Each structure stands twice: as structure tokens, then as C-alpha cells.
Structure 1
Amino acid sequence: MPTTITPRELRRHWIEGREIALIDVREEGPYAESHPLWAVSIPVSELEERLWPLVPRLSVPVVVYDNGEGYVDRALMRIASLGYEDVRILEGGLQAYARAGEVYRDVNSACKAFGELVEAIRHTPSLPASEIKKLLDTEEDLVVLDARRYEEFNTMSIPRGRSCPGGELVYRIRDLVPSPNTQIIVNCAGRTRSIVGTQSLINSGLPNKVMALRNGTIGWTLEGLDLDRGMAERAPKPSEDALQEARRSASKWARHVGVPVINDKQLATFRDDLTRTLYTLDVRDPEEYKNGHPAGFVSAPGGQLVQATDEWVAVRGSRIVLYDDDGVRARMSASWLYQMGWDVFLLDEYHGAHDPSPKTTPPTAELSSSSAITVSELHTLGNATIIDLARSPIYRKGHIPGACFASGPELARDCKAAPGQGAIVLTSADGKIAEGNLADARTGTSQDVFWLAGGTSAWSEAGLPLETECRWLSDPIDVYKRPYEGTDNARENMQAYIDWELQLVAQLANDGVSGFHVARAAA
């Protein structure tokens, strides 16, 4: 019998701060409809590819669940095959958990709930879109900063905006405001990043009046106001004087919150401690990360890390060490993670004198390469049916001509519905997920099944064309359609999203497992 854990036992881990990872092995669409607060989405078909970066210690307790789809037994075997030593099934699945605690909608729910709590506790100032529009039309001494990723800003933005992702705000702001009288507007797509960004600037002691655009570009759109497209202006790096002032204010705030500071020698001690899970994250701009970073550190831009911590960290109760080279961004990011209940540290005085490299290597499942075929071999196979396991947005953008999209978790079912009588060839972006799901595919068909070495990337690198005509073997529920991204969102979906965010504080209060504590202003 597989090892199980009850919902109450799981919640006790969270309340007591003990390490545990809860993995929802369904696809992202069902996950976004309902999940526990600290659950992380990794579909069963992607476990070999995605689990290790999110759960980098093999002895940590890993709990898997679904909602009766029958994925957990497969997940248990696949995770165990990677070498994880303590894998459990959530007793009764999602339905049983919902009787013991709150379940949440959307993605990155814990971070969004925290943002709502920040606004409720700190009374973060905001104005509705109609009033912001009046300010933009009448006030010259005003700066608009978009706290989202640059790609989101470039897609759509409010007038006079410039890109300054949330983790960069305190770092870059001082050269952008000509005087203490300059007003500052911070916006995002919905609520969280504008609330946290606005409050970051206030926490840093900036004398200017700072306000969030209430409900972000969603609120702007719901008011019938026009958004700009294709804007490219970014906030520049700070001058030396501005950097020194930002460093002083960030250090003061981090000390007030209580964020501990370590050096590289202490980091090496953390690396050697095999009883704790450790994440080492570089919160600078990704381009800076590419130009050099401490060994073993992963790029996690500060604003996104606070907005979507579960995209980097799956083990609640783990240690997190943040790095920058300026003394500002890691301190502000860490101050927020600390308030979210994470055991977070700042890496300061890093000189590389002590080896910070990880002491373990990522686990790999034992897979057979004998069923791999190359692009040239695919051409000679004849009458093959190609099944693409890429995420549906990637499939829509371009896939091998004739390829069908299939659900990873339901691959065996979908293989039965695949057209043609010839061999089936699995592909994915780079072929890895295709390789990992070869055995599942074979349980659903008597036809020969192969996987494409190098995946769709190898096809493109061979100079071969892609197509965009879609063929769906299953509904594309693998990706949740976010109502705050893109420009084609239904009005009712945007309003429903805002309504959902506004009730998150009450849900947190009823749940009791968040571990959040919002720091008050310094005396």
C-alpha cells in the first residue's frame, strides 16, 4: 500500500513550519479552478522535467494529489523513480482536503492573497482608473511605473507608462523623480504587483506621494479607457548617488523587518546541511544574471519572485537565500518573503572564497533511448502520426505539420483516438517530455511508439517549416487562461478576477495556514 497523509496532517506541517511539498499532478486548468493554498502545479506528464528545480532535496516529504482522475499512482511511481525517498498520497485527494481547509482559485494564489493582506493592513493608497486618467491629463509632474515584466508592459500599458518591474522599483526610482513633489503611479495588470510595488516605495521612505492604479490594466479596460501597445521605455539603472540612497533605505527597511544576513561561508554551511531544502536565487534583472552570477544561483527577478514564489519554490518551510550586487533588490525582495513566512536570508559580502556550488546533481529517470528517432528518420517512417506534448500555447504558435496536440496526463487515452494506423511519434519542445511519456503512450495503443530526439526544436533547426493549423486530440486545459494577460480577455472574466482577489483576505482568515505577518511602518 502506498504511504498516505491526511489533510489535517498536511496542514499541521504548514502551521508548524516543517518542510513539505504539495504537488497537484493535474493539468494547470483544473488546478486553477481549485487547489490548497500551498499546492504547486506540476502535471504528472512533466514530473521528470520540472520536479527537481522546485523540490531540490530527495529526502524532503513530497505529497501528490488529484481530484479523482487516477493520476496519483503514476505520479508516485515516477517521483520514486527519480530517487525521492518520502513520497505520499494525499488521502481522499482534493475533495477530502476541501473539507479540512480552504481551496483557492487561479494561479500564484498565495502571493496574491498576501498582496491583498498587505493592502488591508497597510492601507496602501490607490486610485481608480477614472481618477488616474484625470491626473495623466492634467499633471505634468507625474511618473507612471509599470511593475510587470517587460514583455507584459510591451503588450499593453497605460499612457505615459514606463517599464520598471516590481523588484527594480526601489533600486531605480530616485533618478526618475525630479523632486519630492513628483507624484508616482504604480500599475500592473490586476492588483498584486501594483499594491506590493507601491508599498515597497512607501516602505523605503520615499517622500513622494505614491499611489497604485486600482485594479491595474483590468480596471483601466473596464472603465472603457484605451491602452497603449508596443511601448518600450524602460527605467534606467540608477546613478551612483541614487544607488547609495536606495541602499541606505533598503537596508533600513530590511533590518526593521528582521531579515537575516549571511556571507558566503555561511552559505557553504547551508549547502552542507542535508536536513534542509535550500533555494539560492539571484533577484537581479535576467540580463544581469546572464552576464555573471554566483555558482548554483537561479535567476528569479525580485518582482516576479514575490508575485509568483511557487514558480521557483515548492517546499514550504525551506530555506531561501537571495543575492544581488547592489544591496537594494535582494533586501526589498527578502523583506516581502520574510513577511510571507519564508525562512529567507540575504547573501552579503560574497567573494567566492567558499565554494557555494550545490553538492548534489539533478536526478534522472532511467529511460530507453532505443525508441528515439531523428528528424531524418521521421521522414522515412511513412504514415506516422505525430503527437505533440508541448503546452498548448506553444503548439498553437507552431508545430510539425500534421502534428496533433494531446494532453500529457491523458496521453494513453488520447493515443487510442489518434488518427492513422501507422507508428506514433511523440514530440515536445526539446523532446524530453516526449521521452518521459513513452511508456504511458504505449499503454494506450498497440501501434509502435517512438519519440523525436531533440523534439520540435530539432525539426526547426533542420530548416523545416512549422504550421499553425491545430488538431486537438483533447481539450487544451493544460494552461489556465489568465484574465489579466493579453488583450483579448472577456469583460466578465476580468471583473470576476477582481472580485475574486477582493475576497482573498477573508479566505486567508478562514484557512489559518498562511503564516503571513505584514510588517508595520518603522517608528
Structure 2
Amino acid sequence: MLTHGQPNMTKTTTPQEVRRHWTNGLEIALLDVREEGPYAEAHPLFALTVPVSEVERKLPALVPRLSVPIVVYDNGEGYVERAARRIAALGYGNVRILEGGLAGYASVGEIYRDVNVPSKAFGELVEAIRATPSLAPRDVKQLIDSNSDVVVLDTRRFEEYNTMSIPRGRSCPGGELLYRIFAAAPSPDTTVVVHCAGRTRSLLGTQSLVNASIPNRVVALRDGTIGWTLDGLQLDTGKTEQVPLPSEDVARRARSYAVSWAEHVGVPVVRADQLLALAAQHDRTLYLLDVRDPSEYAQGHHTQFASAPGGQLVQATDEWIGVRGARAVLYDTDGVRARMAATWLLQLGWEVYVFDYEDTLPESIPRPDAPSRPSVSSSSPYGIAPADLRELENATVIDLARSPAYRKGHVPGAWHASGPELARDLKTVKGEGPIVLTCPDGLVAAANVDDARKAVSRRVLYLEGGTAAWTAVNQPLETEVRWLSKPVDVYKRPYEGTGNDREAMEAYIQWEHELVAQLANDGVAQFHVVRDNRKA
């Protein structure tokens, strides 16, 4: 059993106990403390990717309550004791190691590949149960070419749309679809084509509009831009067209559809006093999430609500909500977006509430004891300023940035290292001068100084403020790469960007199609797809 108290590094729990928590709706966080690359090759369904070197940065937001049961695992690399120690140092009091690691779990449960798997598997389940309408890429192209009364809505983040999109596509991220649909397609005769890069956001976006019972014909582009590319069709690049925010009259119309569907699904709406009552229950984890577009969030928001754009929240719930069995309250200013996101989260097995957009959020919302947030003291004996780095003789700079950020630019001469394998790989660094750790903002570098100092006899420092501080004082960056470790920190998604390998794209689509069977064999998802049996 998972119990409370000061953790001992030898304490463990079984895979069966983790699965029992999932099937009974009990709170638990399962952490894969390897890099994202190995995680994407194989992990349990609700596992989170939190590399041991990034615990201090990633974990407080994902697991905001100190007494939550936390279980860590690797695949025999030897990270778990270090991870448990660092998690406990943040104040968490119920940390365990998974017996047998990944291999032990595989003996009792399904192992999945890729990332954001719960949402992707759920999307496939939705299509299987609701028969979500879709068209093949060449049928969509014919529709676009022959019929002017059609709108194409790209449900991905704007940055993904800008990288590549299908002809006539406009950016309308998934959480915005119903909110903006009547601004994009004011006529009920307009056909609406919804798409993403692969399948999940296409399917859930299309089904959202179908669930809302809007009068338009709505179809998904089958297999998204991957399907479009595999069919030999050309993509556009660099497009910037976005569906505008709706007028109040148009938003009111969308709201009537959202309310009807959310009430059918059973989404509860709470006011300020009810929110405060939920927050006061410190034996439960509560996430406060603002699902509006990031540009609106940037213009003003409640400081205790994190930005979680609705479409991305549904697509990648594990990037915001780390504790399976937890609660969430969603917020918007229109009564549409929070409701629609909540309908999906509820079906995904979460306890979710929508804050009444007509009420006023409390200025302060009580929160339970929270984990220590990472900070870097200016008085640390190991921190140095950019000016000091320039004066160091025979220094070796080690960059702990994610490899795509490292490739874009780093301190001249810096080597890229895998955070989890830093202690191992530092021993291969030649020279006798000081080692200086850096990263984009200095936080991950500072958090790993102690482990680095234990690994080598050389002096180990970190760059205060990281690479950002370096460029802030007009110091140059370079793009020549030097790999101290194999760059496995980021999984190369076959559905993002251009130039993806054809076999990888085909394999990815095939894998998505097989997820429903894998879910059924696993038996722990607790998903429930709501059918529309409302009377017309």
C-alpha cells in the first residue's frame, strides 16, 4: 500500500497497486524519470515524462499537492533513487519506487509508445463509438477545388499551422472551434472541414461540432496533414490566416449549443463559493486552468489559473494534469470554451468543473501546502555571471537545454549533455579546468550542480540566468553541435513539421488505429464516450 510519511529510498510499490489506484479513481502520479525519447518508446498508459534532471522544474506544476502518492520508475538505468531523493527534497512525503521498473509493469499491463497517449487513444475510441464523419484527402481536395462554400479549420496551435497547412486552411485551435464556428461559417449551408497533423485533434474537433449539433455538415480530414502528404498532395507553408473572435451575438449563439451538450454530458458549473469549497478540501488535488486562447490569457488572467488552451488541454492532458484521479476547474469568459473542454475531460475520466463565466473569480483561492518552487540564489557559491564565464580559463561549458533549443544556438564551444546521464558523461570530458553548466534560464543547470560535483573532481559551476543571461549582455551564440550524450531528450514526432519520413508517418497512423484494441486489453483507462440521445 502507498502510505504517508517521510520516504525511505528503499520503499517500493507494485505495478498492481498503481493499477488499482487508476481503476478505483484514487489519486496517484506515475513518473517516468528517463528522457522523453526512451519514454516515447515504451511506458504505461498514465505515466508522465519527468526526467530526473528536470524534477525541480517540471514536477511542482504537474503535482501541486505534497501528500499525493508519487511512484517513479526507469528501465534499469539507475535513475530512480536519485529521482526519489530529489522529489523528497521538494517536500513530497509519499514517494515510492516501482518494483521491477518498466519491465515489471509490462508483466501485468499494456506498454504504449509515443506521447500524450491517453488522449490519442481516447480519440480513436470516440471515432469507433460515434462514427465521427471524415473524408479521404483527395475527396477533401476535390471538395475544396469544386465548392467555394467550404471552410477548412486547422485545430492545431497557430505555430504548427504556420509551419504547414492544407490549402484554404485557417487557424482555429480545437478549443476555439465552437466558440468561433459561426464567425468562420455564418451560413448553415457551408461545409466545415476540420483537421490537424494526424488524427486526434481532427477527430475530437469534428466530434465537438457534431456533439454541439450545429446545422452545418462537418467532416474531419482523414489522417490530417499526414494523410494529405502520403496521398502526394501539396501543403502550404507560412500561412497566418486566423478565424477572428466572435461578436457577442455570435458567441451567445455558440453558448446555447455548448450549454445543451454540456448539460447532457453532466458537466457541473460552480460559482465562487463552490470553487472556494473545492479548494478548501486539501486532501484532494485541484487544478485551476484557464482554457482561453493564449493571447487572451496574456492580456489578463487570474494569477492562480494556469494557461491551458482548451484544444491542447484535451489533446495533451498529461502536460497539465499530472495526478490521475485529481479534480480540475476550467475557466473562460464566454461560457463556451470551458464547457466544451470539460465535456471531453469528463469522458476521459476526470472530475471536472466549469466556473460560471458570469460570476467573479475570488481574488485569493486557498491552496494546500505546495512543493518548493525552483529558485536560484544569487549568493550560491557555484553560480557565475556571464562576465565571469568570459574570464574563466580552460572552462568546459555543458548545455542541459533540450536538444532542439541547443541546435538553435548555444554558448560558443558548449557541449550538449543528457541531464539524466550527466554524472556518467561528465567523466568523459577532457581537460582540468572548471566545468560550467548552463541551460536556457539557468534553473535546470543549478539543480544539477550537486550531482555533477559528486561525479567529477573538477570544479563545477553553473551560469546564472543561463543562455538567456548570456545573450542579454550581447554575447554571441553558435549553432555548431557537440554531443557529449546521445540526444534522446526529445521524441521526434512524425506528425509535426515537414520532411518527415514516409515509413514513420505510415507507422504512426497504423499505431493510432490499433489503440482501441490496446485500451481494451489493458483495462485501466476508465474512459466513457457519451452518446447523443437528446430528443431533436
1:183 is the counterpart of 2:194:
no
Correspondent of 1:462 among 473, 477, 488: 473
- Please say which of residues 367-376 and 113-122 is displaced more in the overlay: 367-376
Equivalent-residue separation in structure 2 for 1:194 and 1:237 (angstroms):
21
Superposition pairs for residues 60-459 of structure 1, below 5 Å? Answer: 60-348=68-356, 349-353=358-362, 355-356=364-365, 358=367, 360-364=369-373, 369-459=380-470
Runs of 4+ in structure 1 over 6 Å off = 365-368
User: Secondary structure of 1:31's partner?
Assistant: helix
* Deviation of 1:353 (Å): 4.6
Q: Does the CA-based 8 Å contact 2:132-2:206 persist in structure 1? A: yes
- Please say which of residues 54-63 and 234-243 is displaced more in the overlay: 234-243
User: Secondary structure of 2:455's partner?
Assistant: coil
Equivalent-residue separation in structure 2 for 1:357 and 1:281 (angstroms):
15
The amino acid of 1:477's aligned partner reads V
**Paired positions, count:** 523
Compared CA separation, residues 160 and 99, structure 1 to 2 (3 A): same
* Deviation of 1:179 (Å): 2.0
* Deviation of 1:522 (Å): 3.4
Equivalent-residue separation in structure 1 for 2:154 and 2:72 (angstroms):
37
Equivalent-residue separation in structure 2 for 1:250 and 1:418 (angstroms):
58
* Deviation of 1:273 (Å): 1.3
1:479 is the counterpart of 2:479:
no
Residue 503 of structure 1 aligns with which residue?
514
Compared CA separation, residues 342 and 487, structure 1 to 2 (3 A): same
Equivalent-residue separation in structure 2 for 1:365 and 1:253 (angstroms):
41
* Deviation of 1:175 (Å): 2.2
Equivalent-residue separation in structure 2 for 1:100 and 1:315 (angstroms):
21
Residue 9 of structure 1 aligns with which residue?
17
Q: Does the CA-based 8 Å contact 2:29-2:322 persist in structure 1? A: yes
The amino acid of 1:444's aligned partner reads A
* Deviation of 1:128 (Å): 1.0
Equivalent-residue separation in structure 2 for 1:367 and 1:299 (angstroms):
24
Please give the per-residue CA displacement for 1:183-216, whole angstroms capped at 9, x wherever unaligned. 1100100000000000000111111111000000
Equivalent-residue separation in structure 1 for 2:361 and 2:208 (angstroms):
30
Equivalent-residue separation in structure 1 for 2:268 and 2:533 (angstroms):
17
Q: Does the CA-based 8 Å contact 1:268-1:354 persist in structure 2? A: no
Equivalent-residue separation in structure 1 for 2:127 and 2:374 (angstroms):
45
The amino acid of 1:516's aligned partner reads F
Q: Does the CA-based 8 Å contact 1:424-1:447 persist in structure 2? A: yes
Compared CA separation, residues 439 and 500, structure 1 to 2 (3 A): same
The amino acid of 2:439's aligned partner reads S
Task: Calculate the aligned-residue CA RMSD, in Å.
Answer: 1.2
Query: Which runs of 5 or more residues in structure 2 are unaligned?
Result: 1-8
Query: Which runs of 5 or more residues in structure 1 are unaligned?
Result: none
Q: Does the CA-based 8 Å contact 2:64-2:370 persist in structure 1? A: no
- Please say which of residues 217-226 and 239-248 is displaced more in the overlay: 239-248
User: Secondary structure of 1:383's partner?
Assistant: coil
The amino acid of 2:162's aligned partner reads N
* Deviation of 1:176 (Å): 1.8
Equivalent-residue separation in structure 1 for 2:341 and 2:141 (angstroms):
30
User: Secondary structure of 1:59's partner?
Assistant: coil
Equivalent-residue separation in structure 1 for 2:374 and 2:441 (angstroms):
17
The amino acid of 1:22's aligned partner reads L
* Deviation of 1:354 (Å): 6.1
Equivalent-residue separation in structure 1 for 2:146 and 2:324 (angstroms):
47
Correspondent of 1:40 among 48, 51, 67: 48
Equivalent-residue separation in structure 1 for 2:313 and 2:400 (angstroms):
27
The amino acid of 1:480's aligned partner reads Y
* Deviation of 1:265 (Å): 1.2
Q: Does the CA-based 8 Å contact 1:167-1:333 persist in structure 2? A: yes
Equivalent-residue separation in structure 2 for 1:132 and 1:184 (angstroms):
11
Q: Does the CA-based 8 Å contact 1:268-1:355 persist in structure 2? A: no
Q: Does the CA-based 8 Å contact 1:295-1:356 persist in structure 2? A: no
Equivalent-residue separation in structure 2 for 1:228 and 1:405 (angstroms):
34
